[in-house]
Structure 1
Amino acid sequence: MTLYVDPPAWPAHDRLWSHLVSDSSLHELRTFARAQGLPDRSFDLDHYDVPADRHDDLVAAGALAVSGGDLARRLGASVLRVPGRERRGASRPALLARWAGLWPEPTASVRAAGAELVGRWREPHRVYHSRLHLADALDALDTLVSGGAPGSARLAALALWFHDAVHDGEAGRDEERSAALAVRLLAPLATGARGARGTGLLAADDVDEVARLVLVTADHDPAHGDATGALVSDADLAVLGGEPRRYARYAAQVRAEYGHVPDDAFRTGRSAVLDELLARLPDRLPDRPGAAPTLFRSAAGAARWSGAAGRNLRAERASLTD
């Protein structure tokens, strides 16, 4: 693993900036950056923005000084790069536009809720559970719906907006807090709430349903016949069935996000997670109540992602053993 830094040639905020990247490990990149006092807010999906006066310090600490073109080529050849199309889709304006599109009338209250949510998804401690994951999950939902998967697309989309809106790394508790946040932000927009009259925003029962759907992502085990729960669960897990380079980037993001966990402990914990996921393959839809759980719960999700998910999960599991 090598770290690279280019010359300070990028103007912004009345300063010149360099970029710091890794060619193979976001975990090592973040560890190095923190050791050098770079704040997490300097991380931008696949690189750190570094002020000009820190360039020489990073080189002295071990980063390799390269030209801007060389750095771009090295990052582009790695699995860690986030292409421009994905960056644009996960940008603040793009996400706010998607949020507004869920509402028949994007009132000031709706826009304020969207701004708070986007702010949460942009928190600097996030690496995988970031605005990029939100955009990917919403895209996956669109894929399921266009493929004919049943369920309420709108309620599923709202649940995805909230499902990791609180992310402190506490399994179970994060989902509970995210569901509580959904109630707090959506209840004032429900029919009958003060200020919501005439907007047709949400039925009162929809608020509780969104909170329930958020909790589905705690174990990705929606009940038989819960079509909307299946949409939410499958969209959240769709990354598992991505093409190999995209999955490798996801795995690198997860390791970096849990960078405080020592390597041995991470391998043990991550291996257990992968074993649990693999135990739910091959995918098929349960054909009766009480049938064995599967990884993807909609027919569209199982058909599209289960084969690739099996290959990806087995490959990562083998890498942890190696």
Structure 2
Amino acid sequence: MGVNWTDAPQWFCSSFSRAAQGAGATAPAREIADLGDELVARWSAPDRHFHNLKHLATVLHRVDELSQETHEPDLVRLAAWYHGAVFSSDRKTTYDLKGGEQTTASAELARKELTELGMPERNVDRVAALVDSLLTHSPDPRDTDSQVLNDADLSVLAAEPQRYKEYAAAVRSEYSHIPTRDFLRARVRILERLLQRQRLFWSPMGAAWENPARQNMEAELARLLKEQRCLPPEEEPEGSDAVAEAAAPR
């Protein structure tokens, strides 16, 4: 993609402005640029070790790469901007929402802010719906734009092995405050559920990422299961689940 990270805010804001204007935003250019600045600040928060500007750049790059398969590429780009705009890695949020990305809240933020830019209601609703489609990463087989967004977001799973290891380490750093046993339990479940799916990638071009992604995840799963076996016996009573207890209503 060739992003100079020193000039990242300027590059990102230009990218956001082009997508917003392409999607029909009628607000003054300065107002659109200011919103782009605010989104860059969100993605730059210090607790984001993976869900940060680098991840956003990757997703935007993949959307561009798959854009020929989309019907409305600017709407998909805006959905990429907002898909992780609301994020918190604090312990309660992580347990309650099963992760830091707050997809529904991000979709509502997109709806509010894009409406304020004067974007047509139909386009605003479509961006919010695309963001919401990432909640389970199970896009509608008839919705190619949703498929492209899903594939762009999961593309890191198919990265070369060393890049994948860096991704896995960044995710762990993002949740470093989560006890090791709880993190391993949750991460193993995520990987097992993903690997059980018939397919991870839905767009024709994204289908080429299927095998590399599965190889990466299988290697990580094997490593995590080995790490689990090396943990000392749990101090909690048999059958207790610290994550479930933390997430239970009070």
Q: Same fold (TM over 0.5)?
A: yes
Letter paired with 2:129 = R
Partner-residue secondary structure (3-state), 1:101? helix
Q: 1:321 aligns with which of 225, 229, 244?
A: 225
Structure 1 residue 300 displacement after superposition: 1.1
Partner of 1:204: 121
Letter paired with 2:82 = F
1:115 aligned onto 2:37: yes
Partner of 2:211: 307
Q: Distance in 1 between matches of 2:13 and 2:108?
A: 21
Distance 1:271 1:89, change over 3 A: farther
Partner of 2:229: none
- Superposed CA offset, 1:11-70 (max 9, x none): xxxxxxxxxxxxxxxxxxxxxxxxxxxxxxxxxxxxxxxxxxxxxxxxxxxxxxxxxxxx
Q: 1:176 aligns with which of 104, 112, 128?
A: 104
- Superposed CA offset, 1:233-277 (max 9, x none): 111111001111111110000000011111111111100000011
Letter paired with 1:269 = A
Q: 2:140 aligns with which of 219, 223, 227?
A: 223
Q: Distance in 1 between matches of 2:212 and 2:161?
A: 8
Partner of 1:5: none
Q: Distance in 2 between matches of 1:90 and 1:313?
A: 33
Structure 1 residue 150 displacement after superposition: 3.2
1:135 aligned onto 2:63: no
Structure 1 residue 87 displacement after superposition: 5.4
Q: Distance in 1 between matches of 2:105 and 2:75?
A: 18
1:164 aligned onto 2:84: yes
Letter paired with 1:132 = K
The structure that is strand-richer by fraction is 1
TM-score normalized with structure 2 length: 0.80
Supply the RMSD in Å over aligned alpha carbons.
2.0
Letter paired with 1:182 = A
Deviating above 4 A after TM superposition, structure 1's stretches of 4 or more consecutive aligned residues are 84-87
Conservation of the 8 A alpha-carbon contact between 1:99 and 1:114: yes
Q: Distance in 1 between matches of 2:86 and 2:16?
A: 17
Partner of 1:3: none
Partner-residue secondary structure (3-state), 1:217? coil
Aligned residues: 213
Residues 237-252 of structure 1 mapped to structure 2, 5 A cutoff: 237-252=154-169
Deviation larger for 221-230 or 87-96: 87-96
Q: Distance in 2 between matches of 1:217 and 1:257?
A: 20
Q: Distance in 2 between matches of 1:245 and 1:177?
A: 33
Q: Distance in 2 between matches of 1:88 and 1:245?
A: 21
Give ranges in structure 2 of 5+ residues lacking alignment.
227-250
Partner-residue secondary structure (3-state), 1:218? coil
Distance 1:89 1:275, change over 3 A: farther
Structure 1 residue 86 displacement after superposition: 5.6
Give ranges in structure 1 of 5+ residues lacking alignment.
1-83, 191-201, 282-293
Partner of 1:258: 175
Q: 2:197 aligns with which of 277, 280, 298?
A: 280
Residues 24-173 of structure 1 mapped to structure 2, 5 A cutoff: 88=5, 91-102=8-19, 103-104=21-22, 107-145=29-67, 148-169=68-89, 170=93, 171=97
Q: Distance in 1 between matches of 2:191 and 2:4?
A: 28
Conservation of the 8 A alpha-carbon contact between 1:271 and 1:320: yes
Q: 1:234 aligns with which of 116, 129, 151?
A: 151
Structure 1 residue 151 displacement after superposition: 3.0
Conservation of the 8 A alpha-carbon contact between 1:120 and 1:165: yes
Letter paired with 1:167 = F
Deviation larger for 162-171 or 248-257: 162-171
Partner-residue secondary structure (3-state), 1:160? helix
Q: Distance in 1 between matches of 2:83 and 2:217?
A: 23
The structure that is helix-richer by fraction is 2
When Rg is computed on C-alpha atoms for both structures, the one with the higher figure is 1
Partner-residue secondary structure (3-state), 1:246? helix
Q: Distance in 2 between matches of 1:87 and 1:132?
A: 11
Conservation of the 8 A alpha-carbon contact between 2:86 and 2:102: yes
